[in-house]
């Protein structure tokens, strides 16, 4: 089962195109990485936008790229290969960017086009669908919001009848217009033919000397066209321009996701300390304790308990499993398996039903059969361990010879004694034992006891001769009296 932070989507007419503006440098991020590639909960900003518009099933999607376009193109090629890209060599304003995008769609001359920025990760499919519906009986519609602090936003100017008249950029606004708290989100839906016509008449008579897309609204109104505004919550239109806003967006998105999962039947003891990527899947009756981070393609089944203090990435957890104070990457944890505390499961780890990876255990590229146990203080790498086998404390699977990794295969119901070194490649047969403190370098036949250690000898009075006067010597003398 999956849950979405935007589960209340509505149906809307099909779109001819979506245009995502992602060409800006983002200088306030102070980063070599293009702004739209900075991540919030496992997705880049532009990917969040593209995921929000995907359910609208537009016939065409165009992403306008510019600064750092090689990196943006690489990411889009991996995650949204169907998107068309258009390059804005010089950033001469939003109107200019949209004109470049439309030039990539020369044969699309009817229908509606959704235009939005690539740095707005909190936009919801519901809001976008509502905006498309709003535009279905108008030449254009703009998404707006009532905000507590309108600094930096373009103002929505309405006439006495409450109809949208124009959008005025903050830098060009009068004192009276600056007092308006309804602001432009930068998200629009246009009749594409009307948009093409109006863009040809957009000038650069403004403080920035750029072609503003907002001028299209005023042009359409002057032509007598109907333009509407659809109001949403101010959180939804938050753009990311610096690292503080990136963190704010992450916090809002985190809360949306955990709220949606709790409403879907997932228990969270302290939801304020739980972070879940939108790509994670959870089943009802999953149980999350404090300080849990679930990322990538992680999935948690019903009845599994995760945490506290646990981070899982690309990890599957089956029903009834318990995972405590653990870091797991690319692992699979079976039904009623137990993990932790202070455990590290690396890629390729598979724990079978009722298997155990205990405290201070590290496992890599290893498969544990049903009921197999590595209870504590051990390293297991490149291995297969049969059902019912127990690995004693402080056991090391010596899998690397300095050049290559080698595999250890251990059969069913084997008992590996504490402080054993298993030097791969090696096979230990079913039902075999190894003596504690052994270094095992040869195969162990089924049902055998392997002993790989030197015989103990005691050198009497060594401390008295070699450490006279020490606390140890004094204790030894006292004991002998």
In tens, the pLDDT along 11-55 reads 778 899 999 999 988 899 999 999 999 999 999 999 999 999 999
Q: Taking 80 as the threshold, does the pLDDT of residue 56 lie above it?
A: yes
Question: Mind listing the pLDDT tens digit for each residue in 315-356?
Answer: 999 999 999 999 999 999 999 999 999 999 999 999 999 999
Mean pLDDT of the chain: 95
Superfamily of domain 267-450: Hexapeptide repeat proteins (2.160.10.10)
How large a percentage of the chain has pLDDT more than 90? Answer: 89
Domain boundaries, the chain: 17-243, 267-450
Q: Mean pLDDT across the stretch 238-250?
A: 96
Query: Which is catalytic among the residues 67, 170, 376, 406?
Result: 376
pLDDT for position 3 = 59
pLDDT at 422 over 60: yes
Provide mean pLDDT across the span 200-211: 82
| Model pLDDT for residues 111-152, shown as the tens digit of each residue | 999 999 999 999 999 999 999 999 999 999 999 999 999 998
Predicted local distance difference test score (pLDDT) of residue 338: 98
Q: For residues 168-186, give the mean pLDDT.
A: 93
Residue 480 has a pLDDT of 84
On the question of a common fold for 17-243 and 267-450, the answer reads: no
The pLDDT score that the predictor gives to residue 5 is 59
376 is catalytic: yes
Query: What pLDDT was estimated at residue 204?
Result: 80
pLDDT at residue 481, as a whole number? 80
- List Cβ neighbours of 468 (8 Å cut-off, separation of 6 or more): none
pLDDT of 290 reads 98
Nearest CA to 400 among 379, 418, 423? 423
Residue 4 clears pLDDT 70, i.e. is over it: no
When pLDDT is averaged across residues 84-104 and rounded to a whole number, the result is 94
Please report the pLDDT score of residue 416 as a whole number: 98
Grade residue 303 by pLDDT with cuts at 50, 70 and 90: very high
CATH number of 17-243: 3.40.50.1220, 3.90.550.10, 3.30.70.270, 3.40.50.150?
3.90.550.10
Structure tokens given for 238? 């938050």
HEC string for the chain: CCCCCCCCCCCCCCCCEEEEEECCCCHHHCCCCCHHHCEECCEEHHHHHHHHHHHHCCCCEEEEECCCHHHHHHHHHHHCCCCEEEECCCCCCHHHHHHHHHHCCCCCCCCEEEEEECCCCCCCHHHHHHHHHHHCCCCEEEEEEECCCCCCCCEEEECCCCCEEEEECHHHCCHHHHCCCEEEEEEEEEEHHHHHHHHCCCCCCCCCCCCCCHHHHHHHHHCCCCEEEEEECHHHHCCCCCHHHHHHHHHHHHHHHHHHHHHCCCEECCHHHEEECCCCEECCCCEECCCEEEECCCEECCCCEECCCEEEECCEECCCCEECCEEEECCEECCCCEECCCEEECCCCEECCCCEEEECCEEEEEEECCCCEEEECCEEEEEEECCCCEECCCCEEECECCCCECCEEECCCCEECCCCEEECCEEECCCCEECCCCEECCCECCCCEECCCCCCCCCCCHHHHHCCCCHHHHHHHHHHC
**pLDDT at 6 (0 to 100):** 59
Q: What is the mean pLDDT of residues 84-103?
A: 94
């Amino acid at each position: 089962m999956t849950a979405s932070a935007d589960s209340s989507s509505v149906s809307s007419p099909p779109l001819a195109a979506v245009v995502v503006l992602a060409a800006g440098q983002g200088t306030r991020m102070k980063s070599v990485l293009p702004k739209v590639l900075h991540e919030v909960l496992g997705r880049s900003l532009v990917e969040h936008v593209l995921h929000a518009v995907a359910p609208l099933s537009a016939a065409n999607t165009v992403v306008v790229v510019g600064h750092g376009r090689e990196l943006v193109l690489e990411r889009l090629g991996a995650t949204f290969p169907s998107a068309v890209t258009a390059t804005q060599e010089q950033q001469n304003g939003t109107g200019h960017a949209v004109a470049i995008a439309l030039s990539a769609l020369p044969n699309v001359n009817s229908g509606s086009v959704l235009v939005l920025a690539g740095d707005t990760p909190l936009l919801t499919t519901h809001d976008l669908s509502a905006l498309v519906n709003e535009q279905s009986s108008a030449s254009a519609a703009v998404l707006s919001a009532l905000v507590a602090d309108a600094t930096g936003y373009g103002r929505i100017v309405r006439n006495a009848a409450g109809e949208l008249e124009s959008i005025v950029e903050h830098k060009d606004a009068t004192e009276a217009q600056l007092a308006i708290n309804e602001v432009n989100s930068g998200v629009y839906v246009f009749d594409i033919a009307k948009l093409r016509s109006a863009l040809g008449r957009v000038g650069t008579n403004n403080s920035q000397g750029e072609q503003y897309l907002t001028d299209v609204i005023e042009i359409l109104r002057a032509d007598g066209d109907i333009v509407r505004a659809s109001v949403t919550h101010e959180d939804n239109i938050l753009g990311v321009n610096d690292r503080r806003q990136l963190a704010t967006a992450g916090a809002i998105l985190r809360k949306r996701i955990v709220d949606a999962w709790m409403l879907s039947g997932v228990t969270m003891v302290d939801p304020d300390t739980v972070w879940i990527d939108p790509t994670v899947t959870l089943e009802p009756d999953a149980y999350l304790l404090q300080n849990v981070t679930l990322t990538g393609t992680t999935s948690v089944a019903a009845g599994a308990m995760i945490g506290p203090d646990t981070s899982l990435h690309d990890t599957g957890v089956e029903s009834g499993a318990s995972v405590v104070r653990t870091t797991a990457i690319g692992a699979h944890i079976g039904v009623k398996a137990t993990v932790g505390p202070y455990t590290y499961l690396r890629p390729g780890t598979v724990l079978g039903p009722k298997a155990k990876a205990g405290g201070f255990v590290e496992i890599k590229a290893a498969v544990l059969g049903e009921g197999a146990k590595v209870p504590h203080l051990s390293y297991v790498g490149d291995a297969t361990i049969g059902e019912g086998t127990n690995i004693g404390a402080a056991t090391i699977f010596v899998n690397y010879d300095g050049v290559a990794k080698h595999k250890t295969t251990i059969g069913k119901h084997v008992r590996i004694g504490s402080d054993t070194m298993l030097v791969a490649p090696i096979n230990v047969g079913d039902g075999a034992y190894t003596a504690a403190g052994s270094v095992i370098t040869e195969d162990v036949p089924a049902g055998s006891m392997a002993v790989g250690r030197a015989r103990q000898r005691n050198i009497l009075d060594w401390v008295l001769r070699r450490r006279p006067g020490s606390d140890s010597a004094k204790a030894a003398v006292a004991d002998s009296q």
